[in-house]
Structure formats: structure tokens, C-alpha cells
Structure 1
Amino acid sequence: MEQRYSIDEFINQTKQEDKGQGYFELETPRMLEVNLQGQVWAKAGAMVSYRGQIKFEREGVLEHGIGKLFKKALSGEGTSLMKANGNGKLYLADQGKKISILKLQGESIYVNGNDLLAFDPSLEWDIKMMRKVAGMLSGGLFNVRIEGTGLVAITSHYEPLTLLVNPGQPVYTDPNATVAWSGNLQPEFVTDVSLKTFLGRGSGESVQMKFEGEGFVVVQPFEEVYFSQQS
């Protein structure tokens, strides 16, 4: 009997395999396996499946102090995180977006709040709001600064592209297509009336992020539209 397209063949091709990569493991390009022995922070709602003894809890209101709570309230759609505790295998995904794992070694990185999937609890993090651009883009934008030593999983629609920023050679990006950038860069927002006219789209598309200095910025071939979420 021909095995092509059989259930057995499907199971064999798609079954979970231990790749021995450690704490974070890319089970597929769009599915993150966390080999949990303790705790991990993850985007709320990103859990697809788990096995073992794992408990989930939403980010505590005062867990990170009044400062972060205040910023979260101001942002209107703060970073909704959940904490997973226990021992087992946890599978995370976000709308089929491609996942990239980054190992920070005393470095820092900014990640668009919508593109942060999971990170090691040993890392320091803080919510940063883009106040200047909040009224220009649908839903506004916020990002998370992560610093220290540990693993971070970020997501992007399709394959990400990393652009190097060099002194005297600024890089401009569409905020809705910007995923992450190096922690030493402080983007400024600029408007381009001629671009707005040329594109013939809403006012938001004329806003650009300008990166100057030395570092990198990660973009995706997709413009994400952000909606306000009540956390």
C-alpha cells in the first residue's frame, strides 16, 4: 500500500523532535519550544500547547513597580505578558509569524512590543513609549528595551532583514515595518510630506524612523497595523 499522504507519513513528517538546542528551540520556523525548568516570560495568548507541569499567570499589576504600571497605562496597549512556571515543554507562536532567537551577552536591544514573543526572566526589561508618534500611527507604538545575558525570541512577518547603521549614513524605516534595533540607537521621527503625497495613503505613512550612529535595525516585509488592546 502506498504510504504517500498517509496519516503515518504525515505524523512522521510533522512530529515534534528534540533537537537538543537547550532552553529555547525552534521546533519549526514559526513554533518556539521552551524546555522549561523554572520560569519564562511570554507574550500573553502565545501558548499553543504544553506538556508537563506548567502554570500560567498574567503579569502582576504591581510586579514591576509603579513606574512601569504608569507607563503601561499611558501607552494604552502596554506589553501584555504572561509568566509560565514549572517543568515541561511549552510551545509558543504568534499568528504564524517567523521566529528568531537572539542570545544577548551583556547587550541591549529594543523590540517592538508587538514582535516580542518570549524572553529569559534573568533579563532586565522596560517599556518605552514613542510619545511623539503615538498620534500619527493607528494605535500608537511602544517598544521594550531588554538588556543583560539570556535568550530573547522575536517574531516577524516573513523573513526579517537587518540593516547596519553606520556613522554619517542614517537609515530610515517605516515604523509599522520596524521589528527591533540595537540598544545604543535612539531613533527620531521625521515626516516627509512629499512621500505622503507620492504614496497617496493615510497620514501615518509619511512618518519615518531615522536611525543615526552605529548599530543595526531589523525590518520585515510587512506593515503591521496596531490596535489598542486593554491589558
Structure 2
Amino acid sequence: MSKYSISEFLKQTEQVDKDQGLFELETQRMLEVNLDGQVWAKAGSMISYNGKIKFEREGMFEHGLSKTFKKAFTGEGTSLMKATGRGKLYLADQGKKVTVLDLRNEVIHVNGNDLLAFEPSINWDIKLMKRIAGMMAGGLFNVRCEGTGMVAITSHYEPLTLRVTPGNPVITDPNATVAWSGGLQPEFQTDITLKTFFGRGSGESIQMKFAGDGFVVVQPFEEVYYHSK
């Protein structure tokens, strides 16, 4: 049989149940949700589904509103959708690598553009990085996820996790920062001496400084966001 036959293609690419639970990594860049109830996902991330599933896109929230559950979040137009029903739901985001985290009464902060899906048992809240509003075009929002349940995040290529220990802070580029542990509160700083190395419109390099005890996840890619016109 030819290795390029249709039957061989099906053998290599056909969906296979792995019995991993609610979230399954069908491939490194595709998340399968074995839905029986409800899940939150990034709006526009659905690529296929079967069964009876209803999708609801939530409206924009007011920036001054502060409560645990908000109907949507925005980071240059990014928002959440709620999928309700029973069936198989397949999610992906621009071919980015998907990582599933099983939180056990833990907290993680995720860049608003890198949150793909999470269980309804997760408490989430929007955090606006007000200090850099106007200083850079994107990365202004992150989502604080807390509780017990599955959270799926995305990254361009393989993520790298850096340990942060007392006395040894970690400095990152905001556009390459994917997530960080709940106990860390990043500070923003600028480095004018680096302006010749970065094509920033502001002429400065904006950095995130993580100090304390925890970890920060970065990707080998600068994700640039644009304000919708």
C-alpha cells in the first residue's frame, strides 16, 4: 500500500479517543473538549464539533466593573464564549501550541490573548495593567484563574518556564510573556538604553519584572497586538 494513500492518511490523522477526561490534547495544537455541561473558551477558537452544543458570545464589560465573574474580557478585541451542551468540541488558536494545566486550588495569571479554555469551576477575573496603558499597543490584560479544574493556555512554539526566587528577579518582554504564578505581581519598567535594539514606536523597551517566589512562562515569539479601529 502506498504511504500516500487515503487510507494511510486517515490512519495517520484520524481522531482517536485517549480517555484523558474533559480536556484532551488531540494534537499539540488542537484541544478536544469532551463536553457534558459547560466550558468557557476563547471566542473564535472553535474549529469543529459534534453533538448538541450551544455557543454564546458574551458582551464587552465596563472597565470600571470589578467582580469575580465578568461576562467578557478584552485585549484588543479578544473575548470569551460559553459552550453549553454535550458532544466533542475542538478548539485551536492560530496554530499555537496548547498546554493543559490541572489546577488544584491554585492560582495562575494568563495573558489575555493566551487563554484558550477553562472549566466553569475556575474563578476568573480580568486584570488591567493600567500602568502601561498608552505605552504599548497590546498585552494590557491578563486573566487571573483560581480554583480547581482544567485551564488550557496557548503559546507560539514551546513554552519555557523560568523560576523566580527571592533576590533573583526575572525580567521579560510583555509580548513574550504567557503566564505567571499567582503569588507574583509584575512591575513594569522601561530601559531607554535598549531603544536601539527594539523597534518600539515609543523609543523605549518596556519590560516586566517578576520578583518573589514563583515562576513565569515565556514563549520564543513576540506577540504583537493591535487596537481595532
Alignment TM-score > 0.5, same fold: yes
Aligned residues: 225
> Displacement, 1:77?
3.5
Distance in 2 between the 1:130 and 1:47 partners? 28
* Structure 1 residue aligned with 2:10: 11
Change (3 A) 1:156 1:73: closer
Residues 94-130 of structure 1, C-alpha deviations (whole Å, 9 max, x = no match): 0000000001101101000000000001110000011
Greater share of helix? 1
Change (3 A) 1:211 1:32: same
Kept in 2, the 8 Å contact 1:78–1:142? The answer is no
Alignment of structure 1 residues 1-231 onto 2, 5 Å:
2-59=1-58, 66-67=65-66, 77=76, 79-197=78-196, 199-202=197-200, 203=202, 206-229=205-228
Alignment-mate amino acid for residue 59 of structure 1: E
Secondary structure of 1:18 counterpart = coil
Kept in 2, the 8 Å contact 1:181–1:217? The answer is yes
Kept in 1, the 8 Å contact 2:58–2:72? The answer is no
Distance in 2 between the 1:224 and 1:91 partners? 23
Alignment-mate amino acid for residue 188 of structure 2: F
Residues 155-179 of structure 1, C-alpha deviations (whole Å, 9 max, x = no match): 0000000000000000000000000
Change (3 A) 1:133 1:46: same
Secondary structure of 1:82 counterpart = strand
> Displacement, 1:205?
5.8
Runs (4+) off by over 2 Å? 65-69, 71-79
Secondary structure of 1:8 counterpart = helix
Alignment-mate amino acid for residue 176 of structure 2: A
Kept in 2, the 8 Å contact 1:162–1:218? The answer is yes
Secondary structure of 1:114 counterpart = helix
Alignment-mate amino acid for residue 201 of structure 1: G
> Displacement, 1:133?
1.1
Secondary structure of 2:135 counterpart = coil
Residues 3-44 of structure 1, C-alpha deviations (whole Å, 9 max, x = no match): 210111001100000001000000000000000000000000
Distance in 1 between the 2:75 and 2:14 partners? 40
> Displacement, 1:76?
6.6
Alignment-mate amino acid for residue 80 of structure 2: L
> Displacement, 1:139?
3.5
Residues 176-199 of structure 1, C-alpha deviations (whole Å, 9 max, x = no match): 0000000110000011111123x0
Secondary structure of 1:201 counterpart = coil
> Displacement, 1:134?
1.9
Distance in 1 between the 2:203 and 2:223 partners? 12
Kept in 1, the 8 Å contact 2:58–2:71? The answer is no
Kept in 2, the 8 Å contact 1:36–1:88? The answer is yes
Distance in 2 between the 1:48 and 1:188 partners? 37
Gaps of 5+ in 1: none
Kept in 1, the 8 Å contact 2:28–2:98? The answer is yes
Secondary structure of 1:109 counterpart = strand
Alignment-mate amino acid for residue 147 of structure 1: E
Secondary structure of 1:146 counterpart = strand
Distance in 2 between the 1:42 and 1:17 partners? 22
> Displacement, 1:228?
2.4
